[in-house]
Structure 1
Amino acid sequence: MKDLELLLKNIKNKALLPVYFLHGGESYYIDIAVKSLENDVLTEDEKSFGQTVLYGKDTSIPEIISLAQQFPMFGELNLIIVKEAQDLKLGEDELKSLEFYVENPVPTTVLVFAHKHKKLDSRKKITKILTKNNWIFLSEPVKDYQLAKWIADECKANQIKTAPNISHLLADYLGNDLSRIANELGKLKMVMKEGQELDEKLVETHIGISKDFNVFELQKALGNKNHAAALRIAFFMGKSPKTNPFPMIIGNLYNYFSNIIIYHTMHGQSPQVMAAAMNVNPYFIKDFAESARFYPLKHATRIISLLREADLKNKGLGANQIDDAELLRELTYKILNVDRLKVSV
């Protein structure tokens, strides 16, 4: 969510708005903002008579507005939080009522809507009113290519020192569920000793991602053309399809060999420039340099075709019920022997 830190700071400093409309596809930031409003607006004594929590499916706009228009019985503020506001009925009459209230809010009420999983329609008058007053806050999902950086920033914010590849490992195996990632990082911080580095062993022990049989180890073995190691890793990864979903493996290998192609085409430029083009840490450029020795540009391009072919087979096209484990072993073998294969590109 844009300007989340400023939003939280203002809440903590009691620089409050009469209306907060939190909306968008990423619920994690909405939950953080709502938690801050629940914890920092009223004291524990004030909450018992000044804080009301409603749920969209169990309430209505008329009920919400009726509560919002009441003046505090005790204290200075009423805090009304509508959770799961996406479940509210927002017909023409409801929208008109809400528009009227937002244009004339009660100064002693803080009205909060937590509208998760989707945006409020930007064409609606209510959205334009909220936007004009800066009372609406959009929470958008982190894009896949930004996820590793987001995890690295979270680790830094939580003072968790990490090995270079950990943020990428967590991004690929935990997906873009920010709440889950934050919970896992919280658990890891609790078990880590002061000054200890978060490495693959800790991740395996406390999250369950194998330090020996994961997509990064597969990439490393393929990148060095270590036939025995790559085939062994592919075999054991294939035995745990839930932990190692085939589409995730394909996506990672596609990025990996695409970066080898980028390395070939940008050869001679600085590691920083190449790293920016690849969207990776410059630390990893030496690995792509090593892999580029084993995979000339022609072969790396052929591997992209192999990956596309495997992806189609995984989706049931051009293959007769080949399971993911067999597909992964077949793909690994073909990549290792790409110089001997004829692949159309």
Structure 2
Amino acid sequence: MTYIDSLKKIKKKQFSPVYLLYGTESFLIQDLKKQLITYGLMEQDKDTNISSYDLEETPIQDVIADAETYPFFGERKVIFAHNPLFLKAKPDKVSFEHDLDLLQSYLNQPVDYSIIVFIAPYEKLDERKKVTKLLKKQSELIPCQPIKEWELGQWIKDMAKSSNVSIDEQANDALIQEMGSNLLMIQSEVEKMALYVGDGGKITKAVADELISSNPNSSGLKLVDAVIAADLGKAILIYKDLEKAKEEPIVLVALLASQFRTILHAKLLKQKGYSQNQMVQQLKAHPYVIKMSLTREKNFSATQLQTMLVLCTDTDAQIKQGRMDKNLAFELLLNQMIAIRKGKNEKQGIGAF
């Protein structure tokens, strides 16, 4: 069952005795947990009728014993069982044994006053195992995998709508560029901007630029954009903001190198006739990263990009060997990259070191 379909059932108070949430998208997992608590328990029972176990530290028999114990107050319990490592192909070793026969017995006859929620933050489950097959059959299975790049925009619109505001396309794009596909961070930023614009307000690009929290990876993209625009002043301002945030120049050199390396790879693969999806598979990168790289590669020749990567390598060595002040070295790197972007002699840029 999909996340959306499960959410609809939960909000109608149509609960399953056992849930299995699996996948690596923490936002979906956290939201399902929140909704199960909100709709599954009365307000006065939320302090006493919620249990949480880590199955890497606690045997499953303790979870079953808790589930089979009738709640002292309220009509039901909600029990979260994290990290069911026995569903993995190669489970980590623990100092105790999980009684899987007891679990299988419970799955065939679960009590009606407890909801057990198994949370498996794994990309895959071992479908060959008997316990996995039974759990999938007897529970409500909800995949919680990372959403697709093309779905992000609609997710953000839905989050804004839930906060009783709207968001324009430019602000939507700015949020994706800054936060990538991290839905938890996106939700936090949307809620912050919604408070700023107020009920019924609209989140614009100007609001997004003012309020969205920066992170180093997205700032790496902003530095690339400043280089594309040949805007040294803007590049230095972005760098100074990162410097205030205690980001080390050596880390920023690596970020720039990573960005330009991906742009170069995208350019070369495009020349070979690769599609965007094929590039994602070949480079093992997020679709949004490839999309942005394809947009940016048009601004550079392959030779320019290769020269910029040499500059990054040289700057990295200069800083690590202590041959130049790290801040000066990074500012010089930005200067040289922009000189290359403007079409100046690339060898002159390298020789400046």
TM-score (ref. length: structure 1): 0.68
The one-letter amino acid of 1:20's match is Y
Matched, 1:279 2:265: no
**CA displacement, residues 85-122 of structure 1 (integer Å, 9 cap, x when unaligned):** 45996955422321221133234432222344776544
In structure 1, distance between residues paired with 2:212 and 2:247:
11
Counterpart among 110, 113, 116 of residue 111 in structure 1: 116
Match of 1:335 in 2: 337
**CA displacement, residues 179-224 of structure 1 (integer Å, 9 cap, x when unaligned):** 232112111111114443432x4345434449xx955654444324
In structure 2, distance between residues paired with 1:233 and 1:263:
33
Matched, 1:130 2:128: no
In structure 1, distance between residues paired with 2:180 and 2:210:
19
TM-score (ref. length: structure 2): 0.67
State the Cα RMSD in Å. 4.6
In structure 2, distance between residues paired with 1:46 and 1:59:
24
Matched, 1:190 2:191: no
In structure 2, distance between residues paired with 1:97 and 1:251:
50
Match of 1:10 in 2: 9
Matched, 1:29 2:28: yes
- The alpha-carbon distance between structure 1 residues 315 and 38, as it changes in their structure 2 partners (threshold 3 A), is farther
For structure 1, which runs of at least 5 residues remain unmatched after alignment? Answer: 267-274
In structure 2, distance between residues paired with 1:323 and 1:224:
26
- The alpha-carbon distance between structure 1 residues 172 and 161, as it changes in their structure 2 partners (threshold 3 A), is closer
- The alpha-carbon distance between structure 1 residues 202 and 48, as it changes in their structure 2 partners (threshold 3 A), is closer
SS of 2:301 mapped into structure 1 = helix
Q: CA deviation at 1:68?
A: 2.4
In structure 1, distance between residues paired with 2:119 and 2:309:
41
Match of 1:270 in 2: none
In structure 2, distance between residues paired with 1:250 and 1:59:
44
Q: How does 1:290-301 map to 2 (within 5 A)?
A: 292=298, 295=299, 300-301=301-302
Match of 1:99 in 2: 104
For structure 2, which runs of at least 5 residues remain unmatched after alignment? Answer: 87-93, 274-286
- The alpha-carbon distance between structure 1 residues 230 and 306, as it changes in their structure 2 partners (threshold 3 A), is farther
Match of 1:269 in 2: none
Match of 2:61 in 1: 62
- The alpha-carbon distance between structure 1 residues 124 and 208, as it changes in their structure 2 partners (threshold 3 A), is same
**CA displacement, residues 30-49 of structure 1 (integer Å, 9 cap, x when unaligned):** 11111111111233366678
- The alpha-carbon distance between structure 1 residues 65 and 306, as it changes in their structure 2 partners (threshold 3 A), is same
Match of 1:155 in 2: 156
Q: How does 1:207-218 map to 2 (within 5 A)?
A: 207-209=212-214, 214-215=219-220, 218=223
The one-letter amino acid of 1:198's match is T
In structure 2, distance between residues paired with 1:150 and 1:262:
25
Contact 1:238 1:326 in 2 (8 A): no
Q: How does 1:237-252 map to 2 (within 5 A)?
A: 239-240=243-244, 242=246, 246=252, 247-252=254-259
Contact 2:80 2:118 in 1 (8 A): yes
In structure 2, distance between residues paired with 1:302 and 1:25:
38
Identity %: 20
SS of 1:337 mapped into structure 2 = helix
SS of 1:53 mapped into structure 2 = strand
